[in-house]
Amino acid sequence: MKTLIYSTHRFEKPFLERAAKNKHELVFSELPLQVNSVHLANGFEAIALFSSDNANEEVLELLQKIGVKFVALRSVGHDHVDLIKAKQLNIKVANVPAYSPYAIAEHTVALLLALNRNILLSQELIKKNDFRLDKLVGFDLHGKTIGIVGTGKIGASFAKIMHGFGCKLIGSDILENEELKSQTKIIYTSLETLCKTSDVISVSCPLNSETKYLFDKKVFSKMKRGVVFINTARGGIVNTLDLLDALDEGIVASAGLDVYENERSLFFHDHSISKINDELFEKLRSHSKVLITGHQAFLTNEALQGIADTTIENLTDWMKSGVSKNDIY
């Protein structure tokens, strides 16, 4: 199947080529999908999208007019695609429902440990030959209460790691993970109770109409004072301005973020020779209690191979029957 890969990054191209094994004709473009780049897909039956692409109603209508029938997502999340419009236009959309949840779970732990043990500040002081420890006091994670919002594959993987640390686990999810309960003794509760009792809160839920700005001023105000807040899910789940206020007020002691609500035009690109015109992001990254990584939690060899394999499987299924087991409408 002739497929245009939008938003191609050097780190993923070899994995996609290896997975394709000449089964499909892949054409790579570094440009993101948006209105002014739709024309690149002319003559292609399928396209493959990254999480920073934009397949909104207007874009999908243009894609349908030039003959695109299939949209393969190189991600679990699909908030960047108007699925209702895709269905109306009879454009098939499939995602990658699972790929090494350990990658994101382990990155979540890395953010937590770096914040708690003041790793970045420690390095700054050492470079200045200042070996005093006065500003580097953290706390034992053993025995602390870890609140996990969203206990799917990623949240469950994180829960198991923290269970190994000897933490008390509480979860909030519309579906309780019975297997996880038996493995870790996690206790499910309301989001409000989770916020009031957790020493650490980690976000692992998807972004949708129900979770958009789930963490806002009202929810932050209910948190246990001094909580560590980690978000490796989607930026839009958190109201950034309200998070900054919570940090300034001391409600949130520190925040580790791999995602940002306005990241689409920012992350995955080199802005080293250009100015970033995002005042909100500047406030966020300059805050002394915030640690940001640029949506890299998924970035392991195992995860990249899993994403590539499933993307190609979806294309192969469509080529054979027009239906993939990972179709999401």
- Annotated catalytic residues are 234, 263, 295
Instruction: Please report where in the chains the tokens 């990155």 appear, as a residue.
Output: 107
Q: Which residues of 140-175 are buried (b: 16+ CB within 10 A; e: fewer)?
A: ebeebbbbbbbbbbbbbbbbbbbbeeebbbbbbbee
Other beta carbons within 10 Å of 305: 18
**DSSP β-ladder status, 168-172 and 70-73:** unpaired
Whether 121 contacts 135, CB under 8 Å:
yes
Collapse the DSSP code of 232 into the 3-class scheme (helix H, G, I; strand E, B; otherwise coil) and give the result. Answer: coil
Give the residue from 179, 201, 182 showing the smallest Cα distance to 192.
201
Tokens of 182: 């038996």
Instruction: Report DSSP state, residue 125.
Output: H
Cα torsion angle, 148, 149, 151, 153, sign: negative
Other Cβ atoms within 10 Å of 75 Cβ, number:
19
State how far the Cα of 297 lies from the Cα of 235, in Å rounded to an integer: 13
